[in-house]
Amino acid sequence: MPRLLIGLVVGLLIGASVMYFIIKPSERPAEKPVAENVEPAKTKLKSEGELVYEKSCKVCHPMEPPAGQGPPILGLATHYREAFSDKEKGLAHMVDFMKNPDSSKSKVEPRAIKRFGLMPAMANSKTELKLVAQWLWDQYDPSFECGGGKRRK
Ligand code: HEC
């Protein structure tokens, strides 16, 4: 008797799989290749530094001219690259400036401070300021010309 039962169960199982593969395929959900199911990346992921920029700096600093309440980022990147050949020193200076702006430490043209006033001190964490300084440094574009004003020494 048990053998008969086993035979029955095995038979049912085989029958069910045969049904699944032969009768059911049309009803199975369409299996899309994985690539089609994945949304194509529309924009490249923003760096943490860029996110800090959008949150804390964009309101005053547009990327390109015309200037906002403050000079454009591309101009700032140019001035910092001109003032510092050592990237680490440039970043450290920028972070320090953002924490405690001081016209005597400014690396932009003196007329920028006359025109815009001094930048207000930023309340961001030092980590955020480092990230955004790094991001700003990387925005340097050698083809960008600062609105007629090369830094006067
Ligand atoms: C309320 C407006 C305002 C905000 C917000 C602001 N800035 Fe500024 N920033 C200015 C102005 C105005 C200047 C130009 C005068 C100066 O250099 O202090 C300036 C100058 C700078 C400079 C040049 C400093 C120098 O050497 O003189 C850097 C670098 C800079 N900003 C980066 C940032 C970053 C990064 C943020 C965001 C974390 C930020 N700023 C947020 C107004 C702003």
49 lines ligand 1 (CB under 6 A): no
What angle is formed at CA 91 by the lines to CA 89 and CA 94, rounded to 5 degrees?
110
**CB-facing half-sphere around the CA of 39: CA atoms within 13 A:** 4
The pTM assigned to this predicted structure is: 0.75
The pLDDT assigned to 44 comes to: 78
Distance 45 CA to ligand 1 centre (A): 25
Instruction: Give the pLDDT score at 151.
Output: 41
My answer on whether 66 and 22 are in the same domain is: no
Cβ contacts of 64 within 8 Å, gap of 6 or more: 72, 73, 74, 144
Q: 110: Cβ below 6 Å to ligand 1?
A: no
The DSSP output letter for 104 is: G
Residue ID of nearest Cα to ligand 1 atom 2: 60
- How many structural domains is the chain composed of? 2
Ligand 1 mutation pick, 47, 56, 58, 61, max ligand atoms within 8 A of CB? 61
Q: List all residues 6 or more positions away from 99 whose beta carbon is below 8 Å from its beta carbon.
A: 121, 122, 126, 129
54/116 same-domain check:
yes
Owning domain of residue 75 = 48-138
Closest atom of ligand 1 to CA, residue 53: 37
Nearest CA among 59, 66, 64 for reference residue 77: 64
The answer as to whether 145 is a domain residue is no
Confirm or reject: Cβ of 101 under 6 Å from ligand 1.
yes
CA–CA distance, 37 with 40 (Å, rounded to integer): 9
Query: In this structure, which amino acid lies at residue 55?
Result: K
Please write the tens of the pLDDT for every residue from 61-112: 999 999 999 999 999 999 999 999 999 999 999 999 999 999 999 999 999 9
Residue 19 lies in a domain: yes
